Amino acid sequence: MKRATSRAASQAGFTLLEVMVVIVILGILASLVVPNLMGNKEKADVQKAVSDITALESALDMYRLDNNRYPSGEQGLAALVTQPVIMPVPRNYPQDGYIRRLPQDPWGNDYQYRQPGRHGRIDIWSNGQDGEPDTEDDIGNWAR
């Protein structure tokens, strides 16, 4: 009886070789999965920037409907949060503004605004991941 118990106890664990094989397999799987996840993060960041720009553009359109003009370039996107005091001061401004706060792009930078725009009446854009203006990774309301 004792022999059967001791034999079962000695065979209960994993050998070093089995543990090493599992670690190698997990390493191979991780090397295949991680690059795909990194690519998805970049795509998600770009999509968030596009969504933010669309929301800002909608808020700016509401501002224009209420005041017959977009905020000036000097007033900037801040005119969506608090009523501008710089001319031209809007006559019809909602008590709570058009948005609660200005979002930052996924890379922690402020969105940019230009009125009049180069690509349309207004330009709204993120300088992208590199944070530099006029580079390939810029995301704007004109590039969809």
* 67 to 71, 83, 93, 123: CA distances (angstroms): 9, 12, 8, 18
pLDDT digits (tens, 9 = 90+) for 34-66: 766 667 888 899 999 999 999 999 999 999 999
Res 42: pLDDT? 87
Domain ranges in the chain are 33-140
DSSP run (H or E) holding 139: strand 139-140
Determine contact, residues 138/125, Cβ cutoff 8 Å. yes
Res 74: pLDDT? 97
Checking if the pLDDT of 79 tops 60, the result is yes
Tell me the CATH number for domain 33-140.
3.30.700.10
